[in-house]
Structure 1
Amino acid sequence: MKHSIFTLLLAIGAFFCGFAQDNLTQYVNPRIGTGGHGHVFLGANVPFGYVQLGPTEHTRGWDWCSGYHDSDSVLIGFGHQHLSGTGVGDLGDVAFLPVADAGQEEIVFHHSNESVRPGYYALKLERPNVWVELTATRRAGFHRYTFGADMAKAQIVLDLHQGIGYDKPADYALDRITDTTISGHRHSTGWAKNQKVFFSAEFSQTVSVEPLDSGRWLVTAADVSQPLMIKVGMSAVSVDNAAENLHKEIPGWDFRKVVADADKAWNDELSKVRIETVDATYRRIFYTAMYHTMTAPSVFSDVNGQYRGADGEVHQGDFTNYTTLSLWDTYRAAHPLMTLIHTDMLPDIAKTFVNIHRQQGKLPVWHLMGNETDCMVGNPAIPVLADLVLKGYVADKEGAYEAMKQSALKDERGLELLKKYGYLPYDKDANRETVAKGLEYALADWCVAKVARLLGKKADAKYFGDRAMSYRKYFDPETTFMRGIGTDGKFREPFNPFSADHRQDDYTEGNAWQYTWLVPHDVHGLVKLFGSERRFTQKLDSLFIVTGDLGAGASPDITGLIGQYAHGNEPSHQVLYMYNYVGQPWKGARLLRQTMTELYRDDPDGLCGNEDVGQMSAWYILSSMGLYQVEPAGSRYIIGSPLFNKATMQVSGGKTFTIVATDNSKENIYVQSAKLNGKRYTKSYILYDDIRKGGVLELQMGNKPSAWGTKSADRP
């Protein structure tokens, strides 16, 4: 009998969540990246939502940073918040778990019994015999538990103790209990040192609540024959705000409608790019990549505008505040992608950054749930904010500039050494990683200088422009690598360009082979350091064929290797496009196609590195359309080798920009000629303003390299 019941439920679920032919969510495979080192979230959420509701497993190591890994089959709850693609684990807050008896703390499950699509997650459990369905809005989760005929009781454990990774509870309690509601809070410490979560849960039928062991309560529903639905509002401010979020976003009990609304929200966002391709696998990878880029930044303000600031205080905002800012990763492609297709969010992203600066005295580095983690090196918010200023999405340019300038002049994280010596000497920085820090600070300083010039601040423009050239200090002309340099002006010895132990070397999650190219703001200046374009290209060519031992202490993030090119980690992401700067775009085209077709796959181990909160996928989205922004803030997108025959973006003002690749194929990977809006176009890059205006870029593809984009005047 129970099998027929669940067969019927499966059919009903399929009906509820069925897809129209033009619904792009049907092409999303949320399992991509749940295996290997992808670390992606699996569950139910909506674009840029505060709530990511899904299964949580025991933390068994680094690959469980999201709380879930495809290799595992033991559940400890369905939590309301998860990270996606990070290298550090946290969250897992406010979890429910159906149980057969009060003593059950985990459940063995089978992946074959899972069903997941954007905005909807379902799992058929065997012990207990329960059908679990989850969906979500921006600030609320919606659960539906259907109990099998053999179940004597409808029991759910509410767990406020468990967390993911470094997360440890500091304080939790149920603050209000009635026969149909539970409200409470969970404060924790972890990667986010002082995270505060408040929740308000409503039940579709009468329940009783009794405490179990520390941080766990047993919730028993009155009628096991009826599905138990639970609506949970979440807030970082208060229980009252959590309840208000819930009532505004899920006012009724129509589970089917919330699933449909979530599907529509995803489809609306996915529809911002329409691609044409005969390859169904490429289509799934592309729309899954788009899906992954919209897990974060996450909304971090309530429906009434209140949010918890970086100072720990509650603020009233007239904008949407955001969190989960993995900026060392996302400044490279995820944010430049947002400036193309999510322009409505950009003013609020800028306000979020400026307000974080006001509240904590500097721009965000890696911001999580109102907390500064100071994770990774450099000043990665500066390129993002500068890009928004330069592209015209910031009303208060002076306020934004002051936030950038003051953040760049702090006496912390190696900046004090940069101001004193003009570079970061390895013998003065106990935290090492001086080359990585120095190169990241240089490109951020270049961004500050560009905004200073825009605002007519000549002295500042010169100061930061000079600091932006500090990357030259680390370049060793003898070995042609970026190397650690001491206060005596000598390079660190011994030197092994393959060594990638950031505890001993001068690089962050990489080695000298990878970091030598981290000068996206002055590629031509880097070429000059090599002495000639010929020597530069020889070295660049060798990057993709040389092999060596990274060492026992190498970071697990250094993955997706083609030679020593590491696509699985962000410092390499601009490298393939550097060939355009020296008039050899065909070399980049060949490697771009190899990277897109070999290192992105339609399976759980489909990402060659951490998703990194959208960056890995954003690189794919831009590159597969044929574009990439190399300069960390500015106006140029480099033209590569589009994977699709046609891609149309919805850009600002209701306009569209279309890239057509004529005669495109697996063999025809090289651009032969181009037209922009019907006129001959010879440059191997395109300006942001030309994209924003709308129009058509036509690329004639062929199977042999051509002279297109090779002349000096046509290079970026």
Structure 2
Amino acid sequence: MKCSYLNIRRSTKSSLYFLLLLAPIISLLGCKNQAGSAADDNVRFVDPLIGSGGHGHVFLGASVPHGMVQVGPNNLSKGWDWCSGYHDSDTTIIGFAQTHLSGTGIADLGDVLFMPTGNFKQPSAADTTRTASFYYSTFNKKNQKVRPGYYSVNLNRYNIKVELTATERCSFQTYSYPKDSAANVVINLAESVQSLMARKGTTGSSLTIINDTTVAGFRSSDEWARDHKVYFVSVFSKPIVSKSLLKGQTTDGGKTATSTEGVVSLLSFKNDGKSLSIKTGISYTSTDGAALNLKSEIKSWDFAAIKNEATSRWNSSLASFNFKSKDSLTKVKFYTALYHTQISPSLFSDADGKYRGADGKVYSSNSNTYSVFSLWDTYRAVHPLYTLTDTAVSSYANTLLQINSQQKRMPVWHLAGNETDCMVGVHSIPVLIDAYLKGFNIDKEKLWNAVKDFDQYDQNGLKAIRERGYIPADQEVWSVAKGLEYAIDYDAIAKLAKDLGYKAEAEKYAKLAKSYQQYFDKQSGFMRGKLANGQWRANFNPYHSLHLEDDYVEGNAWQYTWLVPQDVEGLVGLFGGKAPFTKKLDSLFTVSSALNEGASIDITGMIGQFAHGNEPSHHISYLYPFVGQQWKTAEKVRQVCNQFYKASPDGLIGNEDCGQMSAWYIFSALGFYPVNPVNGLFVFGSPLADEVEINLNNGKKFKITAQYNSAKNKFIQSVKLNGKAYTKTYIKYQQIMEGGELIYVMGSKPNYNYGKEKADWPVSNPSKEN
């Protein structure tokens, strides 16, 4: 039946959480689903609510690993802690959006909301009040269920049960209305997870009634992603009986509604006692692409089948690790962390390979392309983790090379076809080079051509490094942070040039990688801002931080002084050797944790001035083995794991940042961490796993066992690799990828002799011999 918008008919906490958490844990031994036996049903160990409170900012809803769709609830509230659309402190819902970000510190996506309703008082045409405030509902946390690939909730206001699941590019929603209730659906193209940045929001939208069971449309916006476009096609299991327009104007004889501020439409259906289901395909290229995705991925109205397939997809992905621990909550935290690392990067190409390029044009690719690259965060541990188990590493890398070709520079933080230029450094460079050096399928000529002229970039202080050797603090904001991060990028290029046999270029970039030394003040013992005249910035305070304007970004001198993962030996030398370096590093964890008024809100998870809640600190606790004191790393790592990772909504101490906070925990649970994310070397800490088998992406297996492991026995006494005594305090990527077994022998007191000899220390630039 065809309808016209001109023919309008108006339709008239913590104790409870703990018990809810224990329930699935108590029943673990009896769990089994269609994905396989209980042994490979790792979905049951995942608690997606971890990180949904506090400042974790994680996505809550239904998706499949690295899917284009993340369908889930948006709260009525807005603000920094609602960057994912949902926060555990909130009990309101304005709709279920098709896309979300997970763990970021800036908001975007949350597009194309569907909200089932009964009757409500609709706004008048002249009313400028936010439309969602007229129809939103509250909900009770006890009526909310969430696991990977599935979400359900009861809406208090309308007594409607909502169930959500997803495929890669589509969502499947089911609404169960109470008897005698109106059966309405609001489609809201005005709302999103509004960016905190001062941009325009919605810039265009359209909703077209294709027939009595199908609608199509799009939303464009200028938010964090300045030119964001998402298209959708939705098919309903029942005919549309009538419709009214809450926001927008009609065209095309009333079949289409448009608005530069966002269409909001109310569709009504017959309440025949049966649930209403909605299948929605999305695309970043066109409504045709959305229709193709929907046709390709959801061929029936069997919600249970799609849900079970999503569960199966998650079980398959989570099976990359078979993790065992006597502590059930440790297992929950591990598999939840693994789940969080597998939400992004998100699929960006349609079922036929078409995708929107960084220049706004539509391209076609023979392999999947991806979006959501939070590279300032994820280059540190997420991408090194992928090189162990993820089979899509080459696709991520080739996507980054495609972006470089289209926007004519290397990506920084890419979102939905847009360069956000968020944070500092250009860390697509170490991600790509690390993957190439580890043997993944990346065209070396394309890679070299993409990075070889990086020293000629002019933006964000890079020109100053070329001309002066450093970034003047009185000419460029975040000068120290930028300079230190660029040095890491330079080091990666030097490694690539050396591997390719380009001696002159390798020497040039190796010299640039030492530019971090320009910011080190030997007198104070800190990295600090240097002015254009060569003098240090006056009134220096290593505790001081500002949120937006400073020599550092989201940190202070105490945290940034250690940001030299590419040359730890050189940093030790700046301090004057092992003893003063160790003394200074010890003091980081013991000085006052006080921060000035106006300090960055991202400086959290404090032990002294060590701040685990933000990424520049993530490698610091693993620096002690570089000076022969591995036991101190074991002590600090266990403290961080116990203090800052909890099985509760506030269980993450800072923004999850697209998997980085979780990747740190995963590596630490294995007993090692990639201090330098481009040298293929993992430094030992203190394993949480009693036993874990890694199913590597080359088909081999690597087993890790921690003998006598316990909360008390946190210190490594000795190590065996493939049955032989192993005295080094690190392991190489290639050793892991060959398969085999690593055995830690744990004890309650430090073995001061383990890793004491310099020959057993990790090195920043390992050779084949070490």
Relative to the length of structure 1, the TM-score reads 0.96
Task: Note if contact 1:59-1:164 (Cα within 8 Å) is conserved in structure 2.
Answer: no
- CA drift of 1:124 comes to 1.3
Q: Specify the alignment match of 2:761 in structure 1.
A: 715
Partner in structure 2 of residue 189 of structure 1: 222
Verify: 1:272 aligned to 2:320, yes or no: yes
Cα distance in structure 1, aligned partners of 2:497 and 2:272: 66
Query: Against the structure 1 CA distance between its residues 224 and 97, is the aligned structure 2 distance closer, same or farther, given a 3 Å change threshold?
Result: farther
Instruction: Using the TM superposition, give the Cα deviation of residue 224 of structure 1 relative to its aligned residue in structure 2, in angstroms.
Output: 3.8
- In 1, are the aligned partners of 2:93 and 2:139 still within 8 Å (CA)? yes
- Structure 2 partner of 1:117: 147
One-letter amino acid of the counterpart of residue 365, structure 2: G
Task: Tell me the amino acid that sits aligned with residue 367 of structure 1.
Answer: H
Q: Indicate whether 1:83 and 2:101 are aligned.
A: yes
Counterpart position of 2:71: 53
Q: Which residue of 1 aligns with 2:80?
A: 62
1:44-64 Cα deviation digits (max 9, x unpaired): 011101100000012432101
The CA deviation at 1:395 is 3.2
Matched residue, 1:574: 619
State whether residues 447 and 632 of structure 1, in contact with CA within 8 Å, keep that contact through their aligned partners in structure 2.
no
Query: 8 Å contact 1:638–1:685 — kept in the other structure?
Result: yes
Distance 1:160 1:406 in 2: 42
One-letter amino acid of the counterpart of residue 368, structure 1: L
The answer to whether the aligner puts 1:692 opposite 2:721 as a matched pair is: no
206, 211, 218: which is aligned to 1:173? 206
Q: Is the 8 A contact 2:188 2:264 kept in 1?
A: yes
Written as runs of structure 1 = structure 2, the 5 A alignment for 1:666-685 is 666-685=711-730
Deviation at 1:174, TM superposition (A): 1.5
Equivalent-residue separation in structure 2 for 1:29 and 1:117 (angstroms): 7
Task: Tell me what 2:22 maps to.
Answer: none
User: Does residue 1:387 correspond to 2:434, yes or no?
Assistant: yes
Measured in 2, the distance between the counterparts of 1:669 and 1:531 equals 31
Partner of 1:38: 56
Distance (Å, rounded) in 1 between the aligned partners of 2:461 and 2:610:
27
Contact 2:170/2:298 (8 A) holds in 1: yes
How far did residue 150 of structure 1 move?
A: 3.7
Q: Report the counterpart of residue 4 of structure 1 in structure 2.
A: none
Matches within 5 A, 1:621-660: 621-660=666-705
1:305 and 2:353 correspond = yes
Q: Distance in 2 between matches of 1:679 and 1:182?
A: 65
Matches within 5 A, 1:354-369: 354-369=401-416
Q: 2:185 aligns with which of 134, 156, 161?
A: 156
The CA distance in 1 between the partners of 2:723 and 2:312, in whole Å, is 35
Q: The residue matched to 2:493 in structure 1 has which SS?
A: helix
Q: Residue 571 of structure 2 is aligned with which of 523, 526, 537?
A: 526
Partner of 1:445: 490
Unaligned runs of 5+ in 1: 1-13
Residue among 271, 288, 291 paired with 1:243: 291
Q: Aligned equivalents of 2:297 and 2:548: distance in 1?
A: 47
Once residues 687 and 402 of structure 1 are traced to their aligned partners in structure 2, the CA distance between those partners, rounded to angstroms, is 28
- For the 8 Å contact 2:77–2:90, the answer to whether it is kept is no
1:262 aligns with 2:310: yes
Q: Distance in 2 between matches of 1:383 and 1:513?
A: 24
Contact map agreement 2:687 2:706 (CA 8 A) in 1:
yes
Tell me if structure 2 keeps the 8 A contact 1:417–1:423: yes
Q: Which amino acid aligns with 1:384?
A: V
Cα distance, 1:652 vs. partner?
A: 2.7
CA offset at residue 298 of structure 1? 0.3
Cα separation, 2, equivalents of 1:19 and 1:543: 48
Give me the whole-angstrom Cα distance separating, in 1, the residues matched to 2:675 and 2:268.
56
2:165 is aligned with 1:131: no
> What's the offset of the Cα at 1:505?
2.4
CA contact (8 A) 2:397 2:442 kept: no
Secondary structure at 2:694 match in 1: strand
Residue 176 of structure 1 deviates from its aligned partner by 4.4
Q: Which residue of 2 aligns with 1:600?
A: 645
Match of 1:704 in 2: 749
| Superposed CA offset, 1:294-327 (max 9, x none) | 1100000011000001001100111110100000
Q: Which residue of 2 aligns with 1:5?
A: none
For residues 420 and 659 of structure 1, the distance between their equivalents in structure 2, rounded to whole angstroms, comes to 49
Identity value in percent: 48
Distance in structure 2 (CA, Å) of the matches to 1:286 and 1:267: 14
Q: Distance in 2 between matches of 1:304 and 1:94?
A: 23
Which shows bigger deviation, 703-712 or 521-530? Answer: 703-712
Using the TM superposition, give the Cα deviation of residue 125 of structure 1 relative to its aligned residue in structure 2, in angstroms: 1.6
- The farther-off stretch of 92-101 and 404-413 is 404-413
Bigger drift between 212-221 and 353-362 goes to 212-221
In the alignment, what sits opposite 2:119?
Answer: 101
User: Comparing 544-553 with 33-42, which one deviates more in the overlay?
Assistant: 544-553
Contact 1:443 1:632 survives alignment (8 Å): no
| 1:504–1:349 Cα change, 3 Å | closer
Residue 8 of structure 1 corresponds to none
Quote how far apart the aligned CAs of 1:502 are. 4.7
Aligned-pair distance for 1:20?
Answer: 5.2
C-alpha displacement of 1:410: 1.2
CA contact (8 A) 2:56 2:655 kept: yes
Residue 691 to residue 158, structure 1, CA distance change in 2 (3 Å): same
> 1:335 and 2:383 equivalent?
yes
Q: How far off its partner does 1:447 sit?
A: 0.2
Shift in alpha-carbon separation, 1:535–1:461, aligned structure 2, 3 A = same
Q: How many residues align?
A: 699
User: Is the Cα contact below 8 Å between 1:474 and 1:485 reproduced in 2?
Assistant: yes
How far did 1:645 drift? 0.9
* Partner SS for 1:413: helix
Structure 2 alignment gaps of length 5 or more? 1-30, 123-133, 249-262, 763-770
Distance 2:227 2:209 in 1: 23
Shift of 1:75: 1.0
| CA–CA distance in structure 1, aligned partners of residues 386 and 429 of structure 2 | 16
Task: State the distance in 2 between where 1:577 and 1:183 align.
Answer: 52
Letter matched to residue 363 of structure 2: H
The equivalent residue for 1:210 is: 244
User: How far off its partner does 1:158 sit?
Assistant: 0.6
Match for 2:758: what amino acid?
S
1:408 shift after superposition: 4.5
Going from structure 1 to structure 2, the CA distance change for 1:162 and 1:641 (only over 3 Å counts) comes to: same
Partner of 1:348: 395
Quote the Cα distance in structure 2 between the aligned partners of 1:670 and 1:364: 40
Aligned match of 2:536: 491
CA distance in 2, matches of 1:504, 1:141: 41
Q: Which amino acid aligns with 2:88?
A: D
3-state SS of 1:230 partner: strand
Q: What displacement does 1:500 show?
A: 1.1
User: Bigger shift: 619-628 or 222-231?
Assistant: 222-231
Partner Cα distance (1:503, 1:217) in 2: 39
- Map of 1:547-562 to 2, 5 A cutoff? 547-562=592-607
SS class of match (1:196): strand
Structure 1 residue 19 displacement after superposition? 8.8
Give the partner amino acid of 1:473.
Answer: Q
The answer to whether the 8 A contact 1:366-1:372 is kept is yes
TM-score, with length taken from structure 2:
0.89
2-structure distance, mates of 1:351, 1:242: 24
SS at match of 2:247: coil
Please say if residues 542 and 557 of structure 2, whose CA atoms lie closer than 8 Å, have aligned partners that are also in contact.
yes
Residue 410 (str. 1) matches residue 410 (str. 2): no
What CA distance in whole angstroms lies between the structure 2 residues aligned with 1:17 and 1:50?
24
Deviation at 1:458, TM superposition (A): 1.2
Give the Cα separation in 2 of the matches to 1:71 and 1:221. Answer: 33
Task: Provide the secondary structure at the position in 2 that maps to 1:132.
Answer: strand
